[in-house]
Structure 1
Amino acid sequence: MVKKILMICLGNICRSPIAEGVMIETIEQAGASAEWKVDSAAIGGWHVGNSPDHRAMKIMKNHNIDYKNKARQIKKDDFLQFDYIFGMDDENMDDLNRLAPANSKAKLLLLGDFGLEKSERIIEDPYYQRGDAGFEKAYQQCVVACAAFLKDATAGKV
């Protein structure tokens, strides 16, 4: 049975597309593409239909991740269709817990709780930062967290 992952951030143009791209790459490298489906979405609807921020696209391209999805907003059905929904920060998690219907099947998890030091577990929103450094840091955090999650999931720990 295919397991489904949904990456969430505030606008679905910075962190969650990077996390989606990294998770897909991590799964492909593990030879497990047939076992997983990955998507991303936003808490808010401001950027629906838009491509990710140009800096997020640049970072993904620099790391050979081909990304073509457009921003979308999370919907109630996502909580019933996805097995794992990951937030990038505590505000995302508060919003996800508030939005989740009572019959949600999804496990709501903070991506940074996997493989990252406690001081690095929040994947900060780089949108208002100048330059690419915040996007690169988010990418590097996602690389560690996605690999750690996949290892735990494969071992039946999640």
Structure 2
Amino acid sequence: MDLNISSPITKENHYKICFVCLGNICRSPTAEGVFQHLITKEDLGNYFEVDSAGTSAYHIGESANSKSQRTANKHGIKLHSKARQFKPFDLDYFNLVLAMDNENLKNVERMANESHTATIGRMRDFDPQPGDGEVPDPYYGGPEGFENVFQIVKRSCESLLDELEQHIEQ
């Protein structure tokens, strides 16, 4: 996926990423938490701004799903976000918007117009094992579904960070 990065990522010109799913309580907060963990671990937190949102308004203000939190905690990652709804102005604020599945990708693309500046794609565009290209919704599944989502998101975030690090100017 072409990230359309025209100028270096610096502390003054940080790169803004928003991860998007349906309700913003399972997949996208997991992606936000994993990516935040990775950039903190690499001491790159000052180069990025990370957020997550949902295309629906079902869970606004709620913390991440308890199963998502439990899975992330098992891997040493905290999920701090509160659910919010993705809005058209997000397409002007963020550099990169990554949807978790095709349906949410379509929802985001419907909000876009020619003047929006964000690059829009799917999370698994960065997964070395992209499967069908979608991060499955674990909401109605058991613990193994949440672990599967965590592993997909972790691989994808690591690959995304590897690509973005090439554009960092320290």
The runs of 5 or more residues in structure 2 that have no matched partner are 1-12
Q: Secondary structure at the match of 1:139?
A: helix
Query: Which consecutive aligned stretches of 4+ in structure 1 deviate over 3 angstroms post-superposition?
Result: none
Equivalent pairs counted in the alignment come to 155
The residue number in structure 1 matching 2:4 is none
The residue number in structure 1 matching 2:110 is 98
Query: What code does the residue aligned with 1:9 have?
Result: C
The residue number in structure 1 matching 2:156 is 145
1:35 aligned to 29, 40, 47, which one? 47
User: For 2:78 and 2:130, how far apart are their aligned partners in 1?
Assistant: 30
TM-score, with length taken from structure 2: 0.87
Q: Aligned-pair distance for 1:107? A: 0.5
The RMSD of aligned alpha carbons is 1.2
The residue number in structure 2 matching 1:53 is 65
Q: Aligned-pair distance for 1:77? A: 1.4
TM-score, with length taken from structure 1: 0.93
Q: Kindly indicate whether the alpha-carbon contact (under 8 Å) linking 1:4 and 1:36 is maintained by their aligned counterparts in 2.
A: yes
2:140 aligned to 118, 128, 138, which one? 128
Q: Kindly indicate whether the alpha-carbon contact (under 8 Å) linking 1:79 and 1:101 is maintained by their aligned counterparts in 2.
A: no
The runs of 5 or more residues in structure 1 that have no matched partner are none
Q: Aligned-pair distance for 1:120? A: 5.2
Q: Aligned-pair distance for 1:6? A: 0.3
- Which segment drifts farther, 119-128 or 87-96? 119-128
